[in-house]
Amino acid sequence: MLKKISMIGVPMDLGQLRRGVDMGPSAIRCAGVNERLESLSRDIEDLGDITIGQREDEREGGESASEELRNLKAITNASLKLAQTVDKIVASDSFPLVLGGDHSIAIGTLAGLARHYQNLGVIWYDAHADVNTKETSPSGNIHGMPLAISMGIGHERLTGIYGDGAKVKPENIVIIGARSLDDGEKKLIREKGIKVYTMHEIDRLGMTRVMEETIEYLRERTDGVHLSFDLDALDPDDAPGVGTPVAGGISYRESHLAMEMLEESSLVTSAEFVEVNPILDEKNRTAETAVALMGSLFGEKLL
């Protein structure tokens, strides 16, 4: 990993209905992310937060629930700003660390990264696959669509952000921790051959083997790997401050092990941590967990 880290906050809650996740970047900073990473002899550049537009009253696509996309214009504009920022960070030979915000921010992150890699890999550490489209989404919430959009599947205003078409290939994606998948997502995962480790595989194989296989799989086919870490991948007992908690998740210690193994592999070239919602949290526990996991990702050791 690069020694210099450029951190950018994306205080956006437009990708879903539940309020509060826009305060995620502030909560993570309050939990001491700068100090934690500086203690690891990392050169930290905090670029502040991207300005996010207002929540829109109208929805794209008319009245039918299956055709609606909430806050399409504002999310498109924010994603473009983020893509431009991430592009500049990578061009300056710095490691992009993005703080969310809901998971729709990954649209902009991956669009900016795609300018620099021929075969960008993605580790999607999440309870959800986020490969819905407006046709398959039960809610019309864009935070359930960013991985599909990044594969070039979805509304053209979103797939066309910072360059037309796919930003990542399906065969370069590994989803870890999935346990809440919609029927349309299951179908798309099968059609595209996306590699997924559900909680069944994690329980059966163990996190060590899951990460060994993930690292080996991505190392041989990618020229850079982005970690997109949704805090709802963890069990709600360990990360209560998320908008869409799903019981039976990855443990705190398993997640530390995963981050430690990624650090040892020197595979990860960018990262984002998303869906920290301090309104739903307990004394900022989830933000503190996010910071602790960042510590492991960037080289913090127990001994």
Asked if residue 232 belongs to a known ligand binding site, the reply is yes
Is 46 a catalytic site residue?
no
Asked if residue 126 belongs to a known ligand binding site, the reply is yes
Is 230 a catalytic site residue?
yes
- The residue from 13, 87, 130, 185 that is catalytic is 130
- The residue from 275, 281, 288, 300 that is catalytic is 275
Torsion on CA atoms 124, 130, 131, 132, rounded to nearest 10:
180
Is 260 a catalytic site residue?
no
Length of the chain: 303
- The residue from 102, 103, 155, 185 that is catalytic is 103
Rounded CA separation 254/223 (Å) = 26
- The residue from 22, 68, 87, 143 that is catalytic is 143
Is 226 a catalytic site residue?
no
Is 300 a catalytic site residue?
no
Under 8 Å between Cβ of 195 and 218? no
- The residue from 13, 87, 102, 128 that is catalytic is 128
Asked if residue 116 belongs to a known ligand binding site, the reply is no
Asked if residue 102 belongs to a known ligand binding site, the reply is no
- The residue from 22, 87, 102, 230 that is catalytic is 230
Is 232 a catalytic site residue?
yes
Is 130 a catalytic site residue?
yes
Asked if residue 155 belongs to a known ligand binding site, the reply is no
Asked if residue 22 belongs to a known ligand binding site, the reply is no
- The residue from 232, 260, 263, 272 that is catalytic is 232
DSSP string, the chain: --SEEEEEEE---TTSS-S-GGGHHHHHHHTTHHHHHHTTT-EEEEEEE---PPPPSSEET-S-GGG-EETHHHHHHHHHHHHHHHHHHHHTT-EEEEEESSGGGHHHHHHHHGGG-SSEEEEEESSS-----TTT-SS--GGG-HHHHHTT-S-HHHHTTTSSS-SS-GGGEEEEEE----HHHHHHHHHHT-EEEEHHHHHHH-HHHHHHHHHHHHHTT-SEEEEEEEGGGB-TTT----SS--SS-B-HHHHHHHHHHHHHHT-EEEEEEE---GGGSSTTHHHHHHHHHHHHHTT----
- The residue from 13, 68, 87, 126 that is catalytic is 126
Catalytic residue positions, numbered? 103, 126, 128, 130, 143, 230, 232, 275
Residue positions forming the annotated binding site: 103, 126, 128, 130, 230, 232
Residue positions forming the annotated binding site for Mn(2+): 103, 126, 128, 130, 230, 232
